[in-house]
Amino acid sequence: MNEPYEYMAAALYLGHPGIDAQHEILFVCYRELMHAVGGHGDGFELTDVISVIKSYVVTHFRYEEDAMQSTDYLDRDMHIAEHRRLEKGLLSLSERYENETDKNAVAIDMAGFLKEWLSHHIAVVDRLLAQHLNSLNYT
């Protein structure tokens, strides 16, 4: 049996079980996207992977935004604005994916955008939220 695969860098675990588990899934999606782009024949359908990313990002953001609302999080507006920026970026790349002929090139752009955005957002913005939620034992 293979060793467990690490999808997310150790530094990005924030100590909040729900948020960490959901972030891991987003990084799994990133890996699946890269695998589908690679065209090794053993990947999932590229279009399906992109759809999963778009839909699970919404699920995850809804969780965080509900948590911020429920706990009167002071930096809520700034945090939500970052969420909207990611959604806008994904939408733009999604439209490019639908319209351009070189699907792999767009998917690679999407993977790069997603990884860079997630890494920064988790390390900086989500870290503050996780500390806030943990201080209230909010799960």
Site residues (vs another protein, CB under 8 A): 1-2, 4-5, 7, 17-18, 21-22, 24-25, 27-29, 32, 42, 44-45, 48-49, 51-52, 55-56, 59-60, 62-63, 139
Complete DSSP assignment for 10-77: GGG--S-HHHHHHHHHHHHHHHHHHHHHHT-SSSPPHHHHHHHHHHHHHHHHHHHHHHHHHTT-TTHH
Minimum separation from the CB atom of position 57 to another protein (A): 11
CA distance 16 to 130: 6
Question: Residue 53 or 106: which CB sits closer to another protein?
Answer: 53
Question: Residue 57 or 106: which CB sits closer to another protein?
Answer: 57
Minimum separation from the CB atom of position 47 to another protein (A): 9
